[in-house]
Amino acid sequence: MRILFLTHSFNSLTQRLFIELTRRGHEISIEFDINDAVTIQAVELFSPELIIAPFLKRAIPEEIWRKHTCFVVHPGIIGDRGPSALDWAIMNEQLQWGVTVLQANAEMDAGDIWAAETFPMRLAKKSSLYRHEVVDTAVHSVLTAVKHFATGQFNPQPLDYSNPSVQGRLHNPIRQSDRAINWQLDNSQTILKKIHAADGFPGALDTLFGEPYYLYDACAEANLTGKPGEIIAKRDHAICRATVDGAIWVGHVKHKTNTEPSYKLSASTALGKQLASITRVPFDPFSTEPGETYRDIWFEQKNHVGYLHFAFYNGAMDTTQCQRLREVYLKATQLNIKVLVLMGGPDFWSNGIHLNHIEHADSPADESWRNINAMNDLVHAIITTNRQLTIAALQGNSGAGGVFLSLAADIIYARESVVLNPHYKSMGNLYGSEYWTYLLPKRVTKEQADSLTQNRLPIGAPEARQMGLIDECFDLNLQNFREKITQLAEEFATDKKHHYLLKQKNHQRETDEQQKPLQSYRDEELRQMQLNFYGFDPSYHVARYHFVHKIPHGWTPLYLARHHKIKFP
Ligand code: COA
């Protein structure tokens, strides 16, 4: 079927739907929601049989929904209407939430229902719920709705509030006053809920050192206490703030300002010198019983397998994070373990160098250089590990340098739902490093490498496995995936298999090194990166600025808007 996506951006849900529908033989083209005229032109050029709006912030023009069936994906249960659906579900402590695929009509979110499914809620960041439960449920619901549509026989169900099974209601947009934290009254759980409900966008507006900041990336603290509202500790990128019954950590903040452009930064980066007198409370990544606390890097060992977790917010890895991770990695390789599993985080495995922190630096070019070198040092440490087999276990999505970081491991496993973006080009023609020119050709053909890096499209884990980019993928939830990884890693650690594979890997490394030293790959890549960072062409700096400041798209890139190629090949 020819399906047109109308969407605010090519976000994680849109990417997943693109992959899933393409896999099923549908022809997809994408148009960003720029204005009605652009939308109408896209529909004229593509003549879609069906239109899907996976992530839309505006209503579809009447001229379109009157003539074409348009599915709108609403992140709410049947009957739920209005913006901030997931925010309210978290705030109202719903035990179950859902996704509804409805047909666009004159009333927002009130169209006939083509499919709807529910999922159990958990206390988690909105961004995390969206990336896991909402995306998975939405994909399933859209596939069901598309099947229904294809039969030509299906009658969608009108929204009927008199039906007792219709539990959702029309709600108002959530305001910052609904999210306001009262540090003298709210307990830790309530504060966490408020920050979680705003995570990703827009953040919970609060005050730090007398200035307005949006808070994100919160987690509970089991032991520290203090005067409610006071900042009582700092650790790596986060600050700890006392509540009436304990404390919580905040990892990221955004300054609310009308005078200068603002974007998310780690709390320590944003608050800088103001934190000078705050006590640093370090965390030992090797501690065995940490209790609830903020940690972005931690290590666990079971039998002869080590599991290295790096749950960096949004998968972005700044210079210090790359350096800390490498340090912990190298320490782990000195332990009595035979297999080392790189777990990444549950939401993202890695998205490469930290573009927001680079943007914030006095010299973004210098900071880009430092960051990519720190990343390369980490990749180098993984590639040259000669005492352990290494496994990259992709629990969540991975993009750009993050994908190539995973290729440094000997074996790569992913959850089936994982989306990979193995390319740098969208970031202003960034050449990329992370030894990708060594790692990628080891896994895919030249044609495949060219297509992955030049086409800039996301691929699903099954497609990645098919071409050999990763070794295997599993249709499992987070918990079951971790268990599967443990089972596989333990199998690799069994003496006979381990000895043979390790010998083979070390031999291969030596041969590769003789053919062309790793340093040569690095030097060649960094020469190109130097041009990206310091050369005459400012494309990388411009693209990064647009990305970090979330500048709305003025047009849809041609690699997504295939309908333009139909007209102007
Ligand atoms: N640095 C800083 N922030 C990053 C980041 C990076 N490398 N990659 C992603 N993020 C942030 C986004 O700004 C967004 O922030 P938000 O919480 O304010 O919304 C969040 O992570 C999620 O990213 P988003 O783009 O919404 O996710 P997605 O699933 O739609 O797309 C990617 C995933 C990887 C395609 C996209 O995030 C991307 O292109 N990232 C940049 C990758 C890159 O070029 N890295 C540098 C070269 S190695």
Q: Is the pLDDT of residue 258 over 90?
A: no
What pLDDT is recorded for position 300? Answer: 98
Q: Is the pLDDT of residue 569 over 80?
A: no
pLDDT tens digits, one per residue of 152-167: 999 999 999 999 999 9
**Peptide bond just before 202 cis, omega within 30 deg:** yes
Protein residue whose Cα sits closest to atom 12 of ligand 1: 314
pLDDT tens digits, one per residue of 2-41: 999 999 999 999 999 999 999 999 999 999 999 999 999 9
Mean pLDDT, residues 302-322: 98
Q: Contact, 140 vs 118, CB < 8 A?
A: no
Q: Is the pLDDT of residue 134 over 60?
A: yes
Protein residue whose Cα sits closest to atom 36 of ligand 1: 399
Q: For residue 12, which atom of ligand 1 is closest to its CA?
A: 29
What pLDDT is recorded for position 290? Answer: 85
Q: Residues of 356-394 as b/e, b for ≥16 C-beta within 10 angstroms?
A: bbbbbbeebbebbbbbbbbbbebbbbbbebeebbbbbbb
Mean pLDDT, residues 257-283: 95
Mean pLDDT, residues 447-464: 97
What pLDDT is recorded for position 326? Answer: 98
Mean predicted lDDT score pLDDT of the chain: 97
Other residues' Cβ atoms within 10 Å of the Cβ of residue 222: 10
What pLDDT is recorded for position 51? Answer: 98
Pocket of ligand 1, beta carbon within 6 A? 11-12, 127, 200-201, 264, 314-316, 351-356, 397, 399-401, 421, 424, 426-427, 430
- Residue 415: phi and psi, rounded to 5, are -70, 150
What pLDDT is recorded for position 566? Answer: 65
Residue 389 pLDDT level (bands cut at 50, 70, 90): very high
Q: For residue 357, which atom of ligand 1 is closest to its CA?
A: 2
The share of the chain scoring above pLDDT 70, in percent, equals 99
Q: Cα(82)–Cα(108) distance, rounded to whole angstroms?
A: 7
Other residues' Cβ atoms within 10 Å of the Cβ of residue 534: 12
What pLDDT is recorded for position 108? Answer: 86
- Which one-letter amino acid corresponds to residue 414? A
Ligand 1 center–CA 509 separation, angstroms: 32
What pLDDT is recorded for position 567? Answer: 58
Domains observed in the chain = 2-151 (3.40.50.170), 184-275 (3.10.25.10), 297-537 (3.90.226.10)
Instruction: Name every residue whose Cβ is closer than 8 Å to that of residue 259 and which is 6 or more positions away in sequence.
Output: none
Q: Is the pLDDT of residue 568 over 90?
A: no
Protein residue whose Cα sits closest to atom 34 of ligand 1: 399
Ligand 1 center–CA 479 separation, angstroms: 25
Ligand 1 center–CA 350 separation, angstroms: 9
Residue 289 pLDDT level (bands cut at 50, 70, 90): confident
Most informative mutation of 9, 86, 314 for ligand 1 (most atoms within 8 A of CB): 314
Mean pLDDT, residues 551-569: 84
Ligand 1 center–CA 354 separation, angstroms: 9
Q: For residue 355, which atom of ligand 1 is closest to its CA?
A: 1
Mean pLDDT, residues 401-422: 98
pLDDT tens digits, one per residue of 172-228: 999 999 999 999 999 999 999 999 999 999 999 999 999 999 999 999 999 999 999
Protein residue whose Cα sits closest to atom 20 of ligand 1: 314
Instruction: Name every residue whose Cβ is closer than 8 Å to that of residue 456 and which is 6 or more positions away in sequence.
Output: 421, 423, 425, 426, 557, 559
pLDDT tens digits, one per residue of 111-130: 999 999 999 999 999 999 99
